[in-house]
Structure formats: C-alpha cells, structure tokens
Chains A and B, each alone.
Chain A
Amino acid sequence: MAAPSLLRGGWSRLVSGFLGLGGGWARPPARALRQVVEVTEGSTTVIEGKIIEDVKTPTPPNPSGQCPICRWNLKHKYNYEDVLLLSQFIRSDGGMLPRRITGLCLEEHKKVAVCVQMAHRAGLLPNHRPLLPEGHVSKKPKLNRYLTRWSVKSVKPIWKRGPKWCRVPFRVGHPLLMDNINYGQKPVYLNH
C-alpha cells in the first residue's frame, strides 16, 4: 500500500537524516554549513541538512593561475577602494582570512591585508567591526582619512620636519602597492 511505503521511505530518510546529523547534535558542528529543509509527511517530519551545491561562479578568465587574483587577472589592479573585492577575504569582525583557506599567494595576501587595513581606517567597512561588549561610545574624534599606512594610535607627531634638503616626509599609501597600474598621468607618490 501507499501509506506503509511512504512511511518506510520516510523512516529511512529520517534514519539517514539522523545519521547525517548525529555528529552535529552530539558535538559542535565541524563541517560546512547546510541548509535546513523540513518535510512533513503525515505523522513523519523529516528535517534534513542539505549541502548547497548551487554556487555557480563564472569561470575565471585565466584558470591556470595559482591564486584567485591571478586567475581573475587582477594582479596590479586593485586598491583600498575596491571594497567588493576586499570584503571576500575578511571575517565578519574585520580580520583577514588565513591564506591556506583563501588560496592567495603570499605577496597578494600581504597586499590584500594592507588594502583591508587602509579600507578599515578610511571607514569603508562599517559593518565589519569587532564586537564591543556594552553600548560603548568611542571618544575618539571621527576624522576622514585615506591611504593610511600606519595605525592611528601608533603614530607620533613630527615636531621638527627639518629643512627642505633633508625633509622628514609624510608616508602615504604602502610600498607594496607601488606596482599598481596607474591610468592617470601623475605617478603614485608615497612621500608627501
């Protein structure tokens, strides 16, 4: 009859669901996120965790590259303003993801880390802040900045800049980003 077969089918699916989720219930989940799907058939409710396989990324223009940036031909083309690109390599609290997970080569990982730092200091990633305990309001003045090489707290004022021939320059940007393609006529100045 239809009902017992359905029930048996439901039971086997429930058992497989149990086996699949048994590890997840006993200890904290150590596997990838799954989509929870709940199916009710009469008196049987099947809750299943399905792996989402529908991530259809378009093929990169250079599939023979070693790291994602080489594969998409973006080697010297990104800067601190390209937040859409940088946000793919950061955690939700603003830190960088490890290199063994993202697959970036060392120099690109460092460049992305530097760009992410500059984007944070420019205020371009407002939702990737570390969690503050109470409703703590920061007393620091909110000043607009961009291309900051060093952290705001660590920099000391330059009280004496010296004469023109041995001036102490203001460091802007980062030397790792010197090789970026510049479509304007002015070169990238790192010392202001």
Chain B
Amino acid sequence: MSVIRLQGKHKPMYHALSDCGDHVVIINTRHIAFSGNKWEQKVYSSHSGYPGGLKQVTATQLHLKDPTAVVKLAIYRMLPKNLHRRTMMQRLHLFPEDVIPEDIRNNLVEELAQPRRIPKRLDEYTQEEIDAFPMLWTPPKNYRKM
C-alpha cells in the first residue's frame, strides 16, 4: 500500500520518469504484528564486507533494537530495484509511537485505513454481545464447571 503511494502508482498521471511519488508517514511501527512465527524465524542478515563480518539478527532482536527497522526494510525490499528507490525511501517517514513532529503533522492530507481487520479481544466485547451469543453446548448434569 505504501509502496504504491511512494511510487505514485495511485495517480492516473503516473509515469516512471516523472517524479510523482508522495510522502508516506507510518506511525506505531513498534506495535506491528507478524503472521505465523516470523518473529522467531525471520532472520535479517548483513555483511560488512570484511571476513567474519556476517551479522544475522532475528526479527525480535532487530525490533527491540530499532522499532522502525522491520517496516523500513520491508518497504525497501518491495520498492522497484532502481535508483529511484533511495529517493522514495527519503520520502517515507516512520515513527515508532503516535508522536509525530509538528511540521509533518500539519502537512498530513489523507489517512489510509489499516489493510487488515484487527480482531477484538474477549474483554473488548460488551456484555450484551457476550449474552447475545448463544451457548453451543449444554454441560451434562454432573459436570462441575471449573
């Protein structure tokens, strides 16, 4: 979603040579969610070029060290692999929490909805909704409820 807007592909006047990408601001990157066990399984590796300079870090460790790095790397790897990529990354602004600098906050134009629906926790349901949901099974007479 943000990759489309950084490239400018959401505009009908898009052309690869015309610099028509938008700025994208992403907040609350600290609270990002991974599907599956990717927090433990995904490994971000980098090599400094020197022998023995391979650094392999799991997504958990990287996220704790820098809360914006996971989102930044994900978007960097989704952008087209050309020289425009660096300028598009300069137009991306990531913030780990809700706190945004004043000048960026005053220039925000559009708020995009979250792509995934966030499920409600059990204590976020109102008592009426919990009561409206019928019991699917009846416990037997001798059953002692824990």
Using a CB–CB distance below 8 Å, which chain A residues touch chain B? 29-33, 55, 57-58, 60, 68-69, 71-72, 80-81, 83-85, 87-88, 91-93, 101-104, 122-128, 141, 143-150, 152, 155-159, 161, 170-173, 192
Contact = CB atoms under 8 A, between A and B. Distances in A.
Given A101-B143, A141-B64, A124 B122 contact: yes
Interface residues of B, number: 41
Contacts of A161: 43
B37 A126 contact: no
B54 to A, nearest CB: 10
A60 B137 CA distance: 10
Contact of A123 (B34, B121, B133): B121
Contact of B136 (A68, A147, A156, A170): A68
B137 A32 contact: no
Nearest to B42: A170
B125 A145 contact: no
Contacts of B136: 60, 68-69, 71-72, 85, 88
Interface stretch (B4-12, B55-63, B71-79): B55-63
Q: Which of B35, B43, B64, B121 neighbours the largest number of chain A CB atoms within 10 Å of its CB?
A: B35
Closest 6 CB pairs of A and B: A81-B119, A144-B33, A172-B36, A68-B136, A155-B40, A68-B137
B128 to A, nearest CB: 12
A150 B37 contact: yes
A60 B120 CA distance: 25
Q: SS class of chain B's interface: helix, strand, loop or mixed?
A: loop
A147 B33 CA distance: 10
A57 B132 CA distance: 10
A161 B43 CA distance: 9
Contacts, number: 133
Contacts of A122: 119
B134 A143 contact: no
B63 to A, nearest CB: 7
Given A170-B41, A171-B37, A57 B142 contact: no
B38 to A, nearest CB: 5
Contacts of B31: 144
Contacts of A157: 40-43, 56, 58
Contact of B144 (A31, A58, A149): A31
A171 B120 CA distance: 24
A55 B38 contact: no
Contact of A149 (B37, B64, B121): B37
Nearest to B133: A84
Contacts of B135: 55, 57, 88
Contact of A83 (B38, B117, B122): B122
